Structure 1
Amino acid sequence: MTAGQAAAETPGLEADNPFSEPVWDTPHGLPPFERIRPEHYLPAFEAALAAHEAEIAGIANATTTPTFANTVAALERAGLALDRVASVFYNLTGSHTNPELQAIERTIAPRLARHGSAVYLNPALWARISAVDPTRESLSEEEHRVLDRYRTRFRRAGADLGEAAKARVAEIAARMAELGTQFSQNLLADESGFVLPLTGEADLAGLPPFLIAAAASAAKERGGEHGHVITLSRSLIEPFLVFSTRRDLRERAYEAWIRRGEGGGATDNRGIIAEIVALRAERARLLGFESFAHFKLADTMAGSPDAAMDLLRNVWTPAQHQAGAERDRLQAIVQAEGGNFALQAHDWRHYAEKLRRAEHDLDESEVKAYLPLEGVIAAAFDTASRLFGLRFEELPDVPRYHSDVRAWRVGNADGSEVGLFLGDYFARPSKRSGAWMSAFRSQERLNGAVTPIIVNVMNFARAPEGEVSLLSFDDARTLFHEFGHALHGLLSDVTYPLLAGTAVSGDFVELPSQLYEHWLEQPEVLRRHARHHRTGEPMPEALLSKLLAARTFNQGFSTVEYTASAIVDMTLHLSAAGEEGLDVPAFEADALRRIAMPAEINMRHRSPHFAHIFSGDGYAAGYYSYLWSEVLDADAFDAFREAGDIFDPETASRLRKFVYGAGNLRDPREAYTGFRGRLPSIDPLLRKRGLAA
């Protein structure tokens, strides 16, 4: 067996199917991407599902007295083949899909959902899990946690329901899988199908050289019909909205951006959302909860929708006030320039950049010159090295699913292997928008010393061939954010797969990622790594000072657009409106009216393209978690400040033990208290965002 991977037996497959091999004889056990063809997936899924069904039947129908070893640990050892096929497939459907993979996804998603329901609603299996008596066994702390999490999962899946209710819960799960898949594919179709051609110098007015180059590169990637295009990739459209002096083109681009998923026709997501919300409400009611939001938050750090909404309201009021003051200053610039119009949402970024230049003498294009992609990657790696003693070695010749993908071996200071890190940084039509972390393999020790293979996927604008790709400071922050998630997966140090890496409470999972962003903003890190892409000279102190002084600039806007999305998400899932036929735009508009949403700002994610909450259940009634985790991360970074060293070894050691390396070994409140010695205060968050009185 290749070091770092577990054997995944998949009987019944043709020998030429790479998934028939128990282990892959590739460097570090990476999937042999170049040998896996679309036609391999369905047979592999079917064989792996059959194998898992047999494993589950063996556990559920055993006649021996149920013990942790023969029931819970056996469950943890089951399904390795299915996990392997699904991890490869679903990583590719997000980052490098095609019509063949999309067709397979539509077929297999409900099949996997029905399989999951069959496991969690199996009465014999649930009876054995319920009968495991920890008082008769000498279970470790981790084994107690695994048993508790399995019992919680089974109950929340409906294991205690009657047969008719179980059947309906299973039907709902299968239908939800179909709907989530269709939502994602509709969104990708809308995003990849739109281009705004820029023809002639007039259309390029105001655009800095880096953006013109990126628009040319995007045009080439889209077939070269136009010399320059703007796509709906955030790294293209946001700077276009900042710099373009063509108000008409800004409006066209912005409208396409905010109308994704509601253009009518085959890719319209509004009907899908109505059905999803109705099904979630029905499932929650079957499980005995007042609403889907109550169901979702019962197993989180917040504990209840009231606690989450209290936090959102506490932040909303000062953010709304701050945004109003920002709007007035932007409108004053419009009038001073002779603009005879009221500021609109598609104007905000453009005039905010002018205000930033006026107040802070800060030019985003000047900052980008000191943030080449390579330099920001090096900064993220160096920070991890100084905090946790990690070493990164790039591997030039390993399997990869796209030529853009890069791979690094991650090791401890003593040379022992931590895992593999893959970076996929550039936007392309085959990739869904956004940025995320995922795993091709998660860390565990139950099936051998299994090391993780973690991937970060971004959508940065690619520079033309031969030129350096430059990042905005927001792009650099995104890279640090996702690398924080990656470290959560890489540094995982648990025995049982159920608890590994990012498998934690939804409102705790953003702590490692958001906390990691803090190091990017430290002068010590920027002085070391923010270097001019041509000369290698460090960022001038004057520019560094201006950049850091502007950290809370426009935070009213940023906080309002985020918090509005979180409030609408929670309001949707506290409501049963979907059961009477939900009018999505009307519901959204009413929810925003009730919180007095500023007319000049839109939600960060309008419902028809809100993939966080409708491509799956992950962040549904949980988008608040970014803010909840920000309370944690702002308070957590203060621990380093209080130690007098942003790389303090003792503080970093506690951070690795209780946060980055701990997976779901502990309740999140216990984990945070283990690191910090107490629960957090909201005050550091308000200071961080410049919203403190």
Structure 2
Amino acid sequence: MSDLSVNPALTTWDGHHGLPRFDQIRDEDFAPAFDAALAAHEAEIDAIAANAEAPTFENTVVALETAGDELSRVSSLFWGKAGAHTNENIQALEREIAPKMSRHYSKIGMNAALFARNDALWEKRAELNLSVEQERVLERHWKGFVRAGAKLPKAEQERLADINEKLAGLGAKFGQNVLGDEKSWSLKLTEEAELEGLPQFLRDAMAAAARERGEADGYAVTLSRSIIEPFLTFSTRRDLREQAFKAWVARGANGGETDNLAIVKEVLALRAEKAKLLGYENFAAFKLDNTMAKTPEAVNGLLHKVWDKARAKALEEEASLAGLISEEGKNHEVMPWDWRHYAEKLRQRMFNFSETELKPYLQLEKIIEACFDVAERLFGIKAVEVKGITAYHPDVRVFEIRDEKGGLKALFLGDYFARPSKRSGAWMSSFQSQHKLPLKNGAQGEIPIIYNVCNFAKPAEGKPALLSLDDARTLFHEFGHALHGMLSDVVYPSVSGTGVARDFVELPSQLYEHWLTVPEILEKYAVHYETGEPMPKALLDKVLAARTFNAGFATVEFTSSALVDMAFHTRDAVDDPMAVQAQVLDELKMPASIVMRHATPHFQHVFSGDGYSAGYYSYMWSEVLDADAFAAFEESGNVFDPVMARKLKNNIYSVGGSVDPEETYKAFRGKLPDPQAMLKKKGLAMVGELAGSDA
């Protein structure tokens, strides 16, 4: 781009090994950069569409693959900041840019001349002598055009573009509303009686959170999962647990400017209309057409199969918790703000260890090292931290990922601590994806630049960050996604890394979690933050024995959310989303002691964009795959078996979307998985149920 009003730092990345120079980018740079990048991309698209030469894979598909480089760079920087370090200026621009980007891509998807070129190639694909990857790339582009409305009459195309534009704006506002509720609420505690039961690590985190919010003293309960969950676990003050819990589950449903209920209703209506325009029975059918599951019936079949077992298990767990409450001389029922508190007491009784006993052995620094060590043992890559590089926030750390020969494979950024400017949750994303195509600047391909974002409680100055076991799993999970991006070895950017079917994308991340609890990893990296002593074997054995503890609760939380997601997206109209949610939960006989992991008004997976809409089930679909995949290592007798690791790298982590997911899984495992491996892992499989059908 030659526009002099555009800051070149947004599009010319000449920092360390091609990193952006984040310190040279200001918020006000983004608007003119988007305008210039959108115009440049449109000109490139027009040139491809107007090419007088007959369409070839090179002059059409490859040209599309490399077009829009400036827009990709500006977008990745902007959306990265919008998620991980936002402010009012960025949020205002996000509300403006999201619909503008949607309109831009709708225009491309409905470009008749451009589609005609792709369609001509698609019709004669058998004659083009394409590689498997090239066939997948061509198919992705052709289906992308069709799903964008390329075959619709002009009036319907315009309506579809309007719908997509509105959905983009609504998704941005939904996420901002949730963040607004999270930022605006905190519970300040100052009296010792209010802190009863809270371990020192949590007090330290709450004190740090209070300072971050401008409080000179006291402790803050915030809605960051790394604070709210341990508070609900350890606080003996039932009244405060109830207050905090109700604020947590009310995000997006507090009335006023941040209320999401009207947005949800409009989103569901627009999605249903979009699906009908494109010839699908409902939005779920539209979304699932391009996945492993294929149909809503297949998804609901798996979810209901798991639901019945999970609910039965959860009711057993609830009865045990009620017994503890009764023993304390109390007569209240198990309510959602009680579950974590009494489950922790039950775990202490059953397995004779507590979260407070475990946490000193789970230092963030050591778990990061464990992540890197597992990657080196499995895939031969090494992470080398590079100090002194300015990223998009002072907390962000930069690592070089190098292969066995020392060659640079990728750059990895780790952003681990919660802050008010960051949306909740944890995720992986990329500033740059791996590919091997020649670029206009003369480069032959690009290395991936991947980042992980987490929301762990930041420790007080001079103290180590201590994780819960769930936090440690989250770290491994997101690094599994990062590896999917960093180990990518494909030619074309559209099938790079995580560019796979939605219900396959969680396989590399969920599979990687398994190595956290491999005994030799815990023995090496679960060391006490004060003494450096490894976790005692007796405690380690208890942790491993307790892996399926509370599985009913966790599975009910998840599965209810997935079933509500599917119910929303298999209906023509939803007049009252909360009534539909209530109806689904009532039909499921949802235990009153448990709530959905993500209630509708803050279900960001589904409504803050449509990434996981009619797709939240995919975590469980992938869990069927990951349980079976790890079983392959266990069956080999060595969880770091080099033959299995090589097959895993070559068939799962490095191929991206260049191969059909069913085919690539079978190439790794020799067969498709059985759901029973997943049920067994969760402790939900009954005796005699270890045979079943393919997923």
TM-score w.r.t. length of structure 1: 0.97
Q: Counterpart of 1:318?
A: 309
Q: 2: CA distance between counterparts of 1:11 and 1:247?
A: 62
2:254 counterpart of 1:263 = yes
Q: Is the 8 A contact 2:361 2:526 kept in 1?
A: yes
Give, in angstroms, the shift of residue 253 of structure 1. 0.3
Q: Counterpart of 1:143?
A: 134
Q: Is the 8 A contact 2:206 2:220 kept in 1?
A: yes
Q: Counterpart of 1:472?
A: 468
2:512 counterpart of 1:516 = yes
Q: Counterpart of 1:678?
A: 671
Q: 1: CA distance between counterparts of 2:272 and 2:499?
A: 24
* Counterpart secondary structure, 1:385: helix
Q: How does 1:139-218 map to 2 (within 5 A)?
A: 139-218=130-209
Q: How does 1:242-261 map to 2 (within 5 A)?
A: 242-261=233-252
Give, in angstroms, the shift of residue 225 of structure 1. 4.3
Q: 2: CA distance between counterparts of 1:484 and 1:271?
A: 36
Compared with structure 1, are the counterparts of its residues 371 and 87 closer, same or farther at alpha carbon in structure 2 (3 Å cutoff)?
same
Q: Is the 8 A contact 1:17 1:36 kept in 2?
A: no
Give, in angstroms, the shift of residue 141 of structure 1. 2.0
2:659 counterpart of 1:666 = yes
Give, in angstroms, the shift of residue 12 of structure 1. 1.6
2:484 counterpart of 1:507 = no
Encode CA deviations 1:189-241: one digit per residue, 9 max, x unaligned.
00111101111101100000100111001111111244100100000000000
Q: Is the 8 A contact 2:7 2:33 kept in 1?
A: no
Q: 2: CA distance between counterparts of 1:199 and 1:98?
A: 29
Q: 2: CA distance between counterparts of 1:13 and 1:171?
A: 32
Q: Counterpart of 2:50?
A: 61
Q: 1: CA distance between counterparts of 2:76 and 2:619?
A: 25
Q: Counterpart of 1:70?
A: 59
Q: How does 1:29-68 map to 2 (within 5 A)?
A: 29-68=18-57
Give, in angstroms, the shift of residue 470 of structure 1. 0.2
Q: Is the 8 A contact 2:249 2:599 kept in 1?
A: yes
Q: Counterpart of 2:384?
A: 393
Give, in angstroms, the shift of residue 24 of structure 1. 2.4
Q: Counterpart of 1:4?
A: none
Q: Counterpart of 1:557?
A: 553
Q: 2: CA distance between counterparts of 1:653 and 1:686?
A: 27
Q: Counterpart of 1:7?
A: none
Q: How does 1:42-121 map to 2 (within 5 A)?
A: 42-121=31-110
Q: Which amino acid aligns with 1:534?
A: E
Q: How does 1:185-584 map to 2 (within 5 A)?
A: 185-447=176-438, 448-578=444-574, 582-584=575-577
* Counterpart secondary structure, 2:244: helix
| 2:5 maps to which of 11, 14, 20 | 14
Q: 1: CA distance between counterparts of 2:88 and 2:188?
A: 25
Superposed CA RMSD in Å reads 0.9
Give, in angstroms, the shift of residue 44 of structure 1. 0.4
Q: 1: CA distance between counterparts of 2:488 and 2:2?
A: 30
Q: Which amino acid aligns with 1:256?
A: A
* Counterpart secondary structure, 2:451: strand
Give, in angstroms, the shift of residue 521 of structure 1. 1.2
Q: 2: CA distance between counterparts of 1:606 and 1:477?
A: 23
Q: Which amino acid aligns with 2:561?
A: S
Q: Is the 8 A contact 1:301 1:669 kept in 2?
A: yes
Q: Is the 8 A contact 1:33 1:399 kept in 2?
A: yes
Give, in angstroms, the shift of residue 399 of structure 1. 2.7
Q: 1: CA distance between counterparts of 2:14 and 2:371?
A: 31
Give, in angstroms, the shift of residue 316 of structure 1. 0.4
Q: 1: CA distance between counterparts of 2:214 and 2:95?
A: 28
2:632 counterpart of 1:639 = yes
Give, in angstroms, the shift of residue 62 of structure 1. 1.3
* Counterpart secondary structure, 2:503: coil
Q: Is the 8 A contact 2:561 2:596 kept in 1?
A: yes
Q: 2: CA distance between counterparts of 1:367 and 1:666?
A: 42
Give, in angstroms, the shift of residue 522 of structure 1. 1.0
Q: Which amino acid aligns with 2:4?
A: L
| 1:618 maps to which of 602, 611, 615 | 611
Give, in angstroms, the shift of residue 540 of structure 1. 0.2
Q: 2: CA distance between counterparts of 1:18 and 1:375?
A: 35
2:595 counterpart of 1:599 = no
Give, in angstroms, the shift of residue 138 of structure 1. 3.2
Q: 1: CA distance between counterparts of 2:476 and 2:9?
A: 34
* Counterpart secondary structure, 1:457: strand
Q: 2: CA distance between counterparts of 1:632 and 1:198?
A: 45
Give, in angstroms, the shift of residue 671 of structure 1. 1.2
Q: Which amino acid aligns with 2:202?
A: L
* Counterpart secondary structure, 1:110: helix
* Counterpart secondary structure, 1:69: helix
Q: 1: CA distance between counterparts of 2:119 and 2:280?
A: 22
Q: Which amino acid aligns with 1:123?
A: A
Q: Which amino acid aligns with 1:11?
A: S
2:691 counterpart of 1:691 = no
Q: Is the 8 A contact 1:120 1:154 kept in 2?
A: yes
Encode CA deviations 1:64-108: one digit per residue, 9 max, x unaligned.
111101111110110000000000000000000011111111111
Encode CA deviations 1:307-348: one digit per residue, 9 max, x unaligned.
011000110011000000000000011011011211111100
Aligned residues, how many?
A: 679
Unmatched 5+ residue regions in structure 2?
Answer: 439-443, 687-695
Compared with structure 1, are the counterparts of its residues 460 and 15 closer, same or farther at alpha carbon in structure 2 (3 Å cutoff)?
closer
Q: Counterpart of 2:643?
A: 650
* Counterpart secondary structure, 1:343: coil
Q: 1: CA distance between counterparts of 2:171 and 2:378?
A: 38
Q: 2: CA distance between counterparts of 1:530 and 1:93?
A: 34
Q: Which amino acid aligns with 1:488?
A: H
Q: Counterpart of 1:6?
A: none
Q: 2: CA distance between counterparts of 1:328 and 1:603?
A: 19
Q: Is the 8 A contact 1:13 1:47 kept in 2?
A: no
Q: Is the 8 A contact 1:500 1:663 kept in 2?
A: yes
* Counterpart secondary structure, 1:420: strand
* Counterpart secondary structure, 1:303: coil
Q: 2: CA distance between counterparts of 1:63 and 1:16?
A: 35
Q: Is the 8 A contact 1:213 1:463 kept in 2?
A: yes
Q: Is the 8 A contact 1:13 1:43 kept in 2?
A: no
Q: Which amino acid aligns with 1:465?
A: E
Q: Is the 8 A contact 1:11 1:51 kept in 2?
A: no
Unmatched 5+ residue regions in structure 1?
Answer: 1-9
